[in-house]
């Protein structure tokens, strides 16, 4: 299973948080995945899915109950410092930087914390100050710069020490559109030009669609999908259709249609909309057959749906919920 070009291996990680009252929370429930060098990986999932916990376990900040993390082949709890030399992170909801230090002082301080002599890193520090467009603010204390700039500074701090893996937990949260776009561009540059590995969590599917090459989707601590973005897009895109009908359907037709999985029916006064996510092309013809039972049913249009990643994401989550229900029933 161990492929030589993967820089991060997460294997069978389990984390339960014990709480004062009641059952422990299964935050991470046996997760395994690998990340290749130079890849931008999106770690997605609804609130409470276990993304932040997973990120912090990778950063050696939370000890898993079981399972291992290998950073470039190094176990991150057995050889903590060595592994941490290869990782940097911008964590969710944290300041990550010192608000009372200036932009440059922050970069210098954290460089030292990662084992570098700030003087020897001057070129890199200058580079990132330029790169993140912080030149004007270089001598401002961080509490005086805007939220977007603070976030950029936090990312710059994570970048400046050349760590091979950069983890970003919700890097665009609360940023305006412009700042969000800037950060996306920067991340692409970092991965493509510098060959660094970026792992990010976000709820913004536009960000995912725009920059991630591959996604791992988790829900309730388990991986429910893991694939390259374009595969997920292809899988869903060509097979989603919207039928618009002129009239209402008969009860007979409705009942038959509703028996088809992944089909939603929307009836208004004088029209019907059917949305269909196809499992296989068989169902497409099945729908047509049902519609043809009545001669009067006029199909006004059949559209292949424009699907964005957000919709795919929702579908994947929806399916995993259904699976869970099926399991509970069966």
Site for another protein, rule CB under 8 A: 17-18, 53, 56, 59-63, 81-82, 84-85, 87-89, 91, 93-101, 105, 108-110, 112-118, 141
Least CB distance to ligand ATP at residue 288 (A): 41
Q: Which does 155 bind (CB under 5 to 8 A by kind): Mg ion, another protein, ligand ATP, none?
A: none
Count of residues in contact with Mg ion, rule CB under 5 A: 3
85-124 footprint of Mg ion as x/- string (CB under 5 A): -------x--------------------------------
Helix (H), strand (E), coil (C) string for the chain = CCCCCEEEEEEEEEEEECCCCCCCEEEEEEEEEEEECCCEEEEECCCCCCHHHHHHHHCCCCCCCEEEEEECCEECCCCHHHHHCCEEEECCCCCCCCCCCEHHHHHHHHHHHCCCCCCCCHHHHHHHHHHCCCHHHCCCEHHHCCHHHHHHHHHHHHHHCCCCEEEEECCCCCCCHHHHHHHHHHHHHHHHHHCCEEEEECCCHHHHHHHCCEEEEEECCEEEEEEEHHHHHHHHHCCEEEEEECCCCCHHHHHHHHCCCCEEEEECCCCEEEEEECCCHHHHHHHHHHHHCCCCCCEEEEEECCCCHHHHHHHHHHHHHHHHHHHHHC
Q: Cα(203)–Cα(33) distance, rounded to whole angstroms?
A: 20
Binding-site member from 7, 8, 27, 153 for ligand ATP (CB under 6 A): 27
Q: Which does 115 bind (CB under 5 to 8 A by kind): Mg ion, another protein, ligand ATP, none?
A: another protein
Q: Which does 25 bind (CB under 5 to 8 A by kind): ligand ATP, another protein, Mg ion, none?
A: ligand ATP
10 binds ligand ATP, rule: CB under 6 A: no
Least CB distance to another protein at residue 107 (A): 12
Least CB distance to another protein at residue 117 (A): 6
53 binds Mg ion, rule: CB under 5 A: no
Measured from the CB atom, the residue of 167 and 312 that comes closer to another protein is 167
Q: Which does 192 bind (CB under 5 to 8 A by kind): another protein, Mg ion, ligand ATP, none?
A: none
Measured from the CB atom, the residue of 44 and 274 that comes closer to Mg ion is 44
51 binds ligand ATP, rule: CB under 6 A: yes
- If 0-12 CB within 10 Å is exposed, 13-18 middle and 19+ buried, where does residue 299 land? middle
Binding-site member from 6, 53, 240, 286 for ligand ATP (CB under 6 A): 53
47 binds ligand ATP, rule: CB under 6 A: yes
Q: Which does 148 bind (CB under 5 to 8 A by kind): another protein, Mg ion, ligand ATP, none?
A: none
Q: Cα(13)–Cα(231) distance, rounded to whole angstroms?
A: 26
Binding-site member from 52, 76, 272, 286 for Mg ion (CB under 5 A): 52
Contact (CB, 8 A) for 264 and 278: no
Contacting residues toward Mg ion, per CB under 5 A: 51-52, 92
Contacting residues toward ligand ATP, per CB under 6 A: 17, 25, 27, 45, 47-53, 92
């Amino acid at each position: 299973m161990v492929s030589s070009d993967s820089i991060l291996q997460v294997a069978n990680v389990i984390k339960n948080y014990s709480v004062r009252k009641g059952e422990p929370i299964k935050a991470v429930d046996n997760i395994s995945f690998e990340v290749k060098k130079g890849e931008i990986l999106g770690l997605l999932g609804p609130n409470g899915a276990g993304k932040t916990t997973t990120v912090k376990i990778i950063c050696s900040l939370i000890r898993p109950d079981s399972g291992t993390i290998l950073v470039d082949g190094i176990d991150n709890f057995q050889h903590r410092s060595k592994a941490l030399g290869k990782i940097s992170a911008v964590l969710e909801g944290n300041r990550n930087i010192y608000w009372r230090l200036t932009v440059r002082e922050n970069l210098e301080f954290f460089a030292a914390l990662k084992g570098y002599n700030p003087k020897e890193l001057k070129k890199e520090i200058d580079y990132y100050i330029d790169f993140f467009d912080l030149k004007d603010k270089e001598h401002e204390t961080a509490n005086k710069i805007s939220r977007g700039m603070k976030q950029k500074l936090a990312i710059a701090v994570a970048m400046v020490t050349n760590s091979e893996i950069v983890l970003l937990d919700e890097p665009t949260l609360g940023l305006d559109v412009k700042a969000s776009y800037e950060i996306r561009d920067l991340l692409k540059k970092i991965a493509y030009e510098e060959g660094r590995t970026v792992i990010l969590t976000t709820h913004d599917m536009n960000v995912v669609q725009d920059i991630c090459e591959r996604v791992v989707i988790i829900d309730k601590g388990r991986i429910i999908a893991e694939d390259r973005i374009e595969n997920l897009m292809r899988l869903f895109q060509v097979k989603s259709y919207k039928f618009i009908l002129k009239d209402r359907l008969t009860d007979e037709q409705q009942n038959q249609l509703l028996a088809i999985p992944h089909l939603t029916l929307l009836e208004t006064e004088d029209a019907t909309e059917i949305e269909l996510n196809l499992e296989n092309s068989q169902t497409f013809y099945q729908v047509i057959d049902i519609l043809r039972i009545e001669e009067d049913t006029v199909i006004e249009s059949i559209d292949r749906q424009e699907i964005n990643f957000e919709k795919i994401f929702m579908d994947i989550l929806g399916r995993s919920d259904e699976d869970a229900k099926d399991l509970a029933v069966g």
